[in-house]
Structure 1
Amino acid sequence: PLSVQQVHDLYQQTHFNKPINDPTRLQTMIDETPLVLSMWDGAKLIGFARCLTDFEYCCYLSDLLILPAYESHHLGRQLMTTLQAYIGPRVTLSLKAADSAIGFYERIGLLKADNMFRIGREG
């Protein structure tokens, strides 16, 4: 099980834009996410993927984080491979990439789509 503090620290160290200063909200994000993958170095959380999915047709990869000190070890690629193997070939995987991550997703073979829309959230 992931603790709020471990997830908070990973978001903070990767400079990922999430509401990490609201522990209750962060705990709900962890608890209510249907698919979470994590990577560990001993007791230290070093990688994390958070996915919203129905396990049959679609999967939205909300977050993929790897501690900066571990980025050169291809752990992001490993998390993506594990995720794809777990959800299987019948499930479409989609995500919105940060500008800094576009090259990573292109290198591992994801196809770019320009038709995403959203309604913003409060807070």
Structure 2
Amino acid sequence: MNFSEGKGIYYKIGALITAEELSDVFKTSGIRRPVDDLPRLQRMIEHADLLITAWVDQKLVGIARAVTDFSYCCYLSDLAVNKDYQKRGIGKELVRLIQEQIGDEVVLLLLAAPAAMDYYPRIGFDKIENGYIIPRKK
């Protein structure tokens, strides 16, 4: 599904993207991901339950990638927008579209990078203190 938000920004739900495109968005957004491990990025694309992308002039400029059961919980594993396109509401719109896809019965949760801690409350997230993590080894 494709649709336009105006301002020359187009959003797509379930668009096919390449590992190279994902790597480019990660690199240009400032998010820390394994940008040079293209096979791993390809698996990240293939195993996501929900992928919503933002495009300008046929160029991928933003992505929201989530893992969900569409019933109870959704983990927003990636929210990244190319720095040249930040502060235009793209991230907020990507989150809104994720919420639209998962519905009102599903909690949306994420782990924020330290630099983004102030951003998420501005777009509707509540900070929680009751979480735990077993970190990845690589």
TM-score by length of 1: 0.94
* Distance in 1, Cα, partners of 2:35 & 2:85: 21
Partner residue in 1 for 2:117? 102
Map Cα deviations across residues 6-57 of structure 1 (whole Å, 9 max, x no partner).
1011111112111121111111111011111101012100100110100000
Gaps of 5+ in 2: 1-15
Q: Does 1:33 align with 2:9?
A: no
> How many pairs are equivalent?
123
Name the structure 2 match of 1:119: 134
1:45 to 60, 81, 106: 60
Structure 1 distance, partners of 2:61, 2:82, is 5
Inter-partner Cα distance in structure 1 for 2:56 and 2:68: 27
Whole-Å Cα distance in 2 between the matches of residues 99 and 120 of structure 1? 16
Q: How many angstroms does 1:89 deviate by?
A: 0.3
CA distance in 2, matches of 1:113, 1:69: 30
Determine the structure 1 residue equivalent to 2:23. 8
Q: Provide structure 1 residue ranges, at least 5 long, that are not aligned to the other structure.
A: none
Determine what percentage of the aligned residue pairs are the same residue: 37
How many angstroms apart in 1 are the aligned matches of 2:85 and 2:106? 29
Which has more helix, going by share of residues? 1
Corresponding position: 1:91 with 2:106: yes
Backbone CA RMSD of aligned residues: 1.0
Give the corresponding residue for 2:91. Answer: 76
Q: 1:12 is matched by which residue type in structure 2?
A: K
Q: Is 2:93 the counterpart of 1:61?
A: no
In the aligned structure 1, how far is the partner of 2:30 from the partner of 2:126? 25
TM-score under structure 2 normalisation? 0.85
Q: Which amino acid aligns with 2:20?
A: Q
- Contact 2:28–2:81 (CA<8 Å) still a contact in 1? no
